[in-house]
């Protein structure tokens, strides 16, 4: 075998740009694994590359004992003395192992090491290239489906489009061309994994940037995106130049610009909303196409109470609550929607409860928090339930009940109106 191995190591180290010491270490480790596989893993062996003769050497170690139980790891004192006359009990003695085929094992191991090293280097290059491309749109070809999602061939490497990043109900076949947005690049054992998305709000942003020159130039800014992927989205925009209409810029002549984006998302309806620093104006814009009567703001709870004409409840809420949910997500506020008539009724109920509260000398919120909605609910409750109200004492319960009975007699029965619609803003607000 002679100096060939040494030459080979020098050559590979130079050609492939792999650190020579690292190569030698890896090679020793690979040969050690092969020898153990062949001769059993209870041997205590060491493998080293002897630079002077350019060969791999394998040494086996045994402990000197009075009585041998495990001949692969132990040796008697008299046998050991043949090798080294000064040896004593409990010493460790090393022998050079003559292993047949060591040259072949070494060559095979070297080949594996080189292939692995090159693969690692290739992975490193791909990782470096793609980690700087997070936030970019990339095109690829659908390769296959695996349990994590669709595997997409990007050319240099494969990407995964996981289930939670897909547009619901979107179907692909092998060989389909598809556009995606790079959300993450992970370093995995099998090489870097590029994670892509089609449902991410940032993907929509990136497409608008590509389709609308004013966004690319920074004249128009996207302030937020809320998506119900594949169905509907709301995009808030603002213009930094008075003569540029941001909504018009995004929609394009006869909808030419927005149409490309709608098609990319399989017909997802996109509402372009004019952003406004004033939350009530912004909310009214976000809830469009519904017409809004008035909005009350609760800054502490970040809640908006929105009142709409009775015939505007359906458009304000939208199909399956979509309109109000997306508006809430876009604003990052909770939105409660009431019709005019329901709001009037709630107000009337509240006025009644306020009168009761003052009769019982408690705050009206204590009544509401205890679950009482109107005067009748107080009339129908038991004394024990009334005692649960915070801040009320035994002596005040009677006053509360009397006042409720009195008011209930005066008030005619009111009609039930439709319930208010509530939309919570998602905490994962991505804007």
Domains of the chain in sequence order? 4-128 (3.30.1480.10), 139-197 (2.40.50.140), 211-294+311-328 (3.30.300.20), 295-310+329-431 (1.10.150.20)
Q: Which residues contact 191 (CB under 8 A, 6 or more apart)?
A: 119, 122, 123, 126, 157
Predicted local confidence at residue 388, as pLDDT: 64
Q: Per-residue pLDDT for 53 more than 60? A: yes
Predicted local confidence at residue 194, as pLDDT: 94
CA distance 313 to 321: 11
The whole-number average pLDDT for the span 19-37 is 84
Predicted local confidence at residue 17, as pLDDT: 74
Dump pLDDT digits (tens) for 161-194: 999 999 988 889 999 999 999 999 998 777 888 9
Tokens 């209930």, residue located: 408
Q: Do 196 and 150 meet the contact criterion of CB atoms below 8 Å apart?
A: no
Tokens 């204590």, residue located: 366
- 363-370 long-range CB contacts below 8 Å, 24 or more apart? 363/391, 366/390, 366/391, 366/392
Dump pLDDT digits (tens) for 113-147: 778 877 888 888 889 889 899 999 999 999 999 88
211 band by pLDDT with thresholds 50, 70 and 90 = very high
Lowest mean pLDDT among 204-218, 348-362, 411-425: 411-425
Here the tokens at position 309 are 């004409």
Q: Per-residue pLDDT for 419 more than 50? A: no
The whole-number average pLDDT for the span 323-338 is 91
Average confidence score pLDDT of the chain:
82
Residue of 385 and 429 predicted with greater confidence: 385
Residue of 222 and 419 predicted with greater confidence: 222
Q: Do 35 and 46 meet the contact criterion of CB atoms below 8 Å apart?
A: no
Q: Do 308 and 296 meet the contact criterion of CB atoms below 8 Å apart?
A: no
Dump pLDDT digits (tens) for 363-413: 666 666 666 766 666 666 666 666 666 666 666 666 666 666 666 666 555
Q: Per-residue pLDDT for 416 more than 70? A: no
Residue of 387 and 316 predicted with greater confidence: 316
Q: Per-residue pLDDT for 18 more than 80? A: no
The whole-number average pLDDT for the span 270-295 is 90
Predicted local confidence at residue 430, as pLDDT: 43
The whole-number average pLDDT for the span 251-274 is 91
CA distance 227 to 233: 4
3-state secondary structure the chain: CCCHHHHHHHHHHHHHCCCHHHHHHHHHHHHHHHHHHHHCCCCCEEEEEECCCCEEEEEEEEEEECCCCCCCCEEEHHHHHHHCCCCCCCCEEEEECCCCCHHHHHHHHHHHHHHHHHHHHHHHHHHHHHHCCCCCEEEEEEEEEECCEEEEECCCCEEEEEHHHCCCCCCCCCCCEEEEEEEEEEEECCEEEEEEECCCHHHHHHHHHHHCHHHHCCCEEEEEEEEECCCEEEEEEEECCCCCCHHHHHHCHHHHHHHHHHHHCCCCEEEEEECCCCHHHHHHHHCCCCCCCEEEEECCCCEEEEEECHHHHHHHHCHHHHHHHHHHHHHCCEEEEEEHHHHHHHHHHHHHHHHHHHHCCCCHHHHHHCCCCCHHHHHCCCHHHHHCCCCCCHHHHHHHHHHHHHHHHHCCCCCCCCCCEEECCCCCCCC
Predicted local confidence at residue 25, as pLDDT: 87
The whole-number average pLDDT for the span 215-238 is 94
30 band by pLDDT with thresholds 50, 70 and 90 = confident
428 band by pLDDT with thresholds 50, 70 and 90 = very low
Nearest to 196 by CA among 150, 255, 252, 128: 150
CA dihedral 327, 328, 331, 336 (to 10 degrees): 110
206 band by pLDDT with thresholds 50, 70 and 90 = very high
Q: Do 127 and 187 meet the contact criterion of CB atoms below 8 Å apart?
A: yes
Q: Do 158 and 178 meet the contact criterion of CB atoms below 8 Å apart?
A: no
Predicted local confidence at residue 73, as pLDDT: 87
């Amino acid at each position: 075998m002679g100096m060939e191995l040494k030459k080979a190591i020098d050559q590979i180290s130079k050609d492939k740009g792999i650190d020579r010491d690292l190569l030698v270490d890896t090679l020793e480790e690979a040969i050690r694994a092969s020898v153990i596989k062949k001769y059993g893993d209870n041997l205590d062996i060491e493998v080293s590359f002897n630079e002077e003769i350019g060969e791999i050497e394998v040494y086996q170690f045994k402990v000197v004992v009075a009585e041998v139980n495990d001949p692969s790891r132990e040796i008697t004192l008299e046998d050991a003395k043949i090798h080294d006359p000064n040896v004593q009990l409990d010493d460790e003695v090393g022998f050079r192992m003559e292993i047949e085929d060591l040259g072949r094992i070494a060559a095979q191991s070297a080949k594996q090491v080189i292939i692995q090293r090159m693969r690692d280097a290739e992975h490193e290059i791909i990782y470096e290239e793609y980690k700087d491309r997070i936030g970019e749109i990339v095109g690829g070809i659908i390769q296959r489906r695996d349990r994590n999602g669709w595997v997409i061939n990007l050319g240099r490497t494969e990407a995964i489009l996981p289930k939670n990043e897909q547009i619901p109900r979107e179907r692909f076949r092998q060989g389909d061309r598809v556009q995606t947005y790079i959300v993450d690049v992970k370093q995995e054992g099998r090489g870097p994994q590029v994670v892509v998305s089609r449902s991410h709000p940032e993907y929509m942003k990136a497409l608008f940037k590509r389709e609308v020159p004013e966004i690319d130039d920074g004249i128009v800014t996207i302030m937020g995106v809320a998506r119900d992927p594949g169905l509907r989205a709301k995009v808030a925009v603002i213009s930094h130049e008075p003569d540029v209409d941001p909504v018009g810029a995004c929609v394009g002549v006869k909808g030419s610009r927005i149409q490309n984006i709608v098609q990319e998302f399989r017909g997802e309806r996109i509402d372009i909303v004019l952003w406004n620093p004033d939350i009530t104006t912004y909310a009214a814009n976000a809830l469009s196409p519904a017409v809004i009567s008035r909005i009350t703001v609760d800054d502490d709870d970040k809640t908006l109470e929105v009142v709409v004409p009775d015939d505007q409840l359906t458009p304000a809420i939208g199909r399956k609550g979509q309109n109000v949910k997306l508006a809430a997500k876009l604003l990052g506020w909770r939105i409660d929607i009431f019709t005019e008539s329901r709001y009037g009724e709630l107000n009337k109920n509240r006025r009644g409860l306020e009168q009761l509260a003052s009769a019982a000398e408690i705050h009206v919120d204590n009544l509401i928090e205890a679950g009482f909605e109107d005067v009748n609910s107080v009339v129908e409750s038991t004394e024990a339930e009334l005692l649960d109200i915070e801040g009320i004492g035994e002596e005040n319960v009677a006053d509360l009940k009397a006042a409720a009975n009195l008011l209930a007699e005066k008030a005619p029965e009111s009609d039930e109106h439709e319930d208010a619609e509530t939309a919570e803003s998602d905490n994962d607000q991505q804007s």
